């Protein structure tokens, strides 16, 4: 109950489709059972089509998202190009492992499209940077168990952007309704070759 | 049992803090001001461990004022909120972290948009329409959920504060000696008259 990962609550999920990926998060920020804010996004954009979802301790969500904004900006200035999702994933991994014996209490999720091949890429991490590559979906947060159940039953290979949006939205919305620590609306990003669509889902407000 | 409250409205942010300075079960002072002005249109209220609160708040205040003097511009409320969060977050992983909860209220000097930031001792930052710290959260957030609208007038804001103060007095086991109320508007920060004993009728 007082694990740093479940004080503030929150959920995040990423999914692969046909030539597209999706990433979504809930909007709750709480202190144990008390909801403090219902507008606390956990998905951040780094470059053209690289996205990072962060669940866990809210202070570390902010710290880590700010840290990667700095690191990715420095990368872009040095290399004079946007960072690729796979490169970003390795940056996340090594940055988290730097704090091996005093970790940031976050469970990151990376989603994006490879800038050269356009191939979908998603992966998840534990709090010390061990990468979990996946071909289907990645979940994280206090609603992981519920999200695994929803994704296992709804996800299928080679979905188009519209089907993918429907699948990820239903998965997240129905998962967070069975978790007291997450919910209160959601952000959903659908990432295609040269288009990113961000949608705001209202969800249950209780 | 310290009370911190914040409400935003159409063109203002209200910050209220309890006047009692307590040590254990003893009340040492009945006219304590738990707020510090950071610049012309940003106000910060604080609660938490005795020495930490004022030490941290005045450190932030000094840095905000130093910035204003060096650059001949004030930092915006959002810039200040993120600065404070950074300081509190680096303190959190130090040998002796500051144990301070904050509310940061302000009006943007250019857009005149009011804003309110909620920060706890873990340095979790949230931008909110209304906020509270400590036990006041359990009593006042539900009241404000019901009665708050984003476009309320200053008078209506004060009315909501009286409603909250009334509920707190009814429910809290220790007298918090009333509230200091300050209003942040585009014209600056003003102390608002606040009568604790005024009878509140359910609105």
Nearest CA in chain B to A58: B124
Which residues of chain A does B126 touch, with a Cβ-Cβ cutoff of 8 Å? 29, 36-37, 39-40, 58
* d(C-alpha A195, C-alpha A121), whole Å: 16
For residue A47, what are the CA distances in angstroms to A74, A82, A187, B68?
A: 12, 6, 18, 33
CA dist., res. A174 & res. A26, Å (int): 11
Q: What is the mean pLDDT of residues B104-110?
A: 97
B124 CB neighbours in chain A (<8 A) are 8, 29, 36, 57-59, 62
> H or E element: which one contains A86?
helix A85-97
Closest Cα of chain B to A37: distance in Å? Answer: 6
The residue among A64, A26, A206, A67 whose CA lies nearest residue B124 is A64
CB contact under 8 Å between A36 and B92, yes or no, is: no
pLDDT the model gives residue B174: 92
Whether the pTM exceeds 0.80: the reply is yes
Q: Are A55 and A42 in contact (CB under 8 A)?
A: yes
- Residue B196: the pLDDT is 73
Q: Residue B141: pLDDT above 70? A: yes
- Give contacts of A40 with chain B, Cβ < 8 Å: 126
- Give the model confidence (pLDDT) of A155-195 as tens digits: 999 999 999 999 999 999 999 999 999 999 999 999 999 99
Q: B22 near B29, Cβ under 8 Å?
A: no
CB-CB under 8 Å, A62 with B122 = no
Alpha carbon of B95: minimum distance to chain A alpha carbons (Å): 13
Could you report the per-residue pLDDT of B56-85, keeping only the tens digit for each? 999 999 999 999 999 999 999 999 999 999
In the sheet with A11-16, reading across from the earlier edge strand, the strands are A137-141, A11-16, A21-26, A186-192, A195-201
Strand partners, B35: B45
Interface test with A, best of B85, B126, B127 (most A CBs within 10 A): B126
């Amino acid at each position: 109950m007082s694990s740093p990962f479940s004080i503030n609550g929150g959920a995040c999920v990423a999914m692969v489709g046909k030539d597209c990926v999706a990433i979504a998060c809930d909007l709750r920020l709480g202190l144990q059972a008390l909801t403090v804010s219902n507008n606390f996004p956990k998905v951040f954009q780094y470059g053209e089509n690289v996205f990072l979802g962060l669940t866990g301790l809210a202070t570390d969500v902010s710290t880590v998202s700010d840290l990667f904004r700095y690191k990715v900006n420095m990368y872009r200035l040095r290399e004079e190009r946007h960072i690729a999702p796979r490169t970003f994933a390795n940056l996340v991994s090594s940055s988290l492992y730097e704090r091996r014996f005093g970790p940031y209490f976050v469970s990151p999720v990376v989603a994006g499209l490879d800038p050269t091949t356009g191939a979908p890429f998603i992966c998840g991490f534990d709090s010390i940077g061990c990468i979990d590559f996946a071909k289907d979906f990645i979940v994280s947060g206090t609603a992981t168990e519920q999200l695994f159940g929803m994704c296992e039953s709804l996800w299928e290979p080679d979905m188009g952007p519209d089907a993918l949006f429907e699948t990820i939205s239903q998965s997240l919305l129905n998962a967070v309704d069975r978790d007291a620590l997450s919910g209160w609306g959601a952000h959903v990003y659908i990432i295609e070759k040269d288009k990113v669509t961000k949608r705001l889902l209202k969800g249950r407000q209780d | 049992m310290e009370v911190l409250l914040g409400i935003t409205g159409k063109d203002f942010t209200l910050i209220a803090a309890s006047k009692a300075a307590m040590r254990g079960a003893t009340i040492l002072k009945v006219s304590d001001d738990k707020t510090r002005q950071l610049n012309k249109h940003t106000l910060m209220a604080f609660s938490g461990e005795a020495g930490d609160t004022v030490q941290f708040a005045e450190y932030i205040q000094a840095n905000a004022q130093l910035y204003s003097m060096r650059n001949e511009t004030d930092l915006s409320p959002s810039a200040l909120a993120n600065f404070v969060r950074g300081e509190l977050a680096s303190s959190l992983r130090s040998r002796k972290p500051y144990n301070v909860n904050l509310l940061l209220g302000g009006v943007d000097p250019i857009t005149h948009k009011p804003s309110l930031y909620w920060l706890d001792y873990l340095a979790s930052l949230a931008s909110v329409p209304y906020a509270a710290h400590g036990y006041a959260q359990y009593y006042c957030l539900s009241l404000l959920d019901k009665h708050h609208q984003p476009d309320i007038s200053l008078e209506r804001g004060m009315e909501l504060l009286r409603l909250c103060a009334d509920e707190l007095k009814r429910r809290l086991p220790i007298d918090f000696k009333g509230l200091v109320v300050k209003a942040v508007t585009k014209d600056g920060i003003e102390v608002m008259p606040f009568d604790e004993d005024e009878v509140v009728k359910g609105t």
